[in-house]
Amino acid sequence: MKKILKVLAGIICSLIIFSIPAAYLFGSTVHADLKGTKKEKVNQFVAQFAKEKKFNGSVLVLHKGKVLVDESYGYADREQKVPFKNDELFPIGSITKSMTTIAILKLEEEGNLSVDDKVSKYVPEFKYGNKITIHQLLNHSSGLGDYLTMKDYSRPYSDEEILKLINKEPLQSEPGEKYAYVNSDYYLLGKIIEKVSGEEYEAYVQHHVFDKAGMSNTFFMDDQKLDVKGYEEDKLVKNIHPSLLFALGNVISTKDDLATYIEAVESYQLLSKSQTDKMHEPSIETGLAGSYGYGWYVANNHISFKEKLYSHGGSLPGIRSGLMRYEDQDLTVVIFSNMGEAWNYFALGNEIASIVFDKRLWFFQKLQ
Tens place of pLDDT per residue across the chain (368 aa):
434 444 444 443 343 333 334 433 456 677 878 999 999 999 999 999 999 999 999 999 999 999 999 999 999 999 999 999 999 999 999 999 999 999 999 999 999 999 999 999 999 999 999 999 999 999 999 999 999 988 889 899 999 999 999 999 999 999 999 999 999 999 999 999 999 999 999 999 999 999 999 999 999 998 678 999 999 999 999 989 999 999 999 999 999 999 999 999 999 999 999 999 999 999 999 986 689 999 999 999 999 999 999 999 999 999 999 999 999 999 999 999 999 988 889 999 999 999 999 999 887 777 66
Say what the pLDDT of residue 196 is.
98
Say what the pLDDT of residue 14 is.
40
Say what the pLDDT of residue 139 is.
98
Say what the pLDDT of residue 27 is.
61
Say what the pLDDT of residue 1 is.
40
Say what the pLDDT of residue 33 is.
87
Domain boundaries, the chain: 31-366
Contact 247, 190 (CB under 8 A): yes
Strand partners, 331: 63, 326
**Rounded Cα–Cα distance for residues 360 and 68 (Å):** 20
Q: Which fold has domain 31-366?
A: Beta-lactamase (3.40.710)
Contact 262, 334 (CB under 8 A): no
Contact 316, 93 (CB under 8 A): yes
**Conformational region of residue 178, where left means phi above 0, alpha means psi within -120 to 50, and beta covers everything else:** beta
**Rounded Cα–Cα distance for residues 323 and 28 (Å):** 23
Sign of the Cα pseudo-torsion (71, 43, 69, 347, in order): positive
Say what the pLDDT of residue 17 is.
33
Strands 75-77 and 219-220: unpaired
**Contact residues for 273 (Cβ-Cβ < 8 A; gap 6+):** none
Contact 276, 261 (CB under 8 A): no
Q: Amino acid identity of 292? A: Y
**Contact residues for 323 (Cβ-Cβ < 8 A; gap 6+):** 92, 95, 258, 262, 311, 312, 313, 332, 333, 334
Length of the chain as a residue count: 368
**Contact residues for 334 (Cβ-Cβ < 8 A; gap 6+):** 59, 60, 61, 255, 258, 259, 321, 322, 323, 324
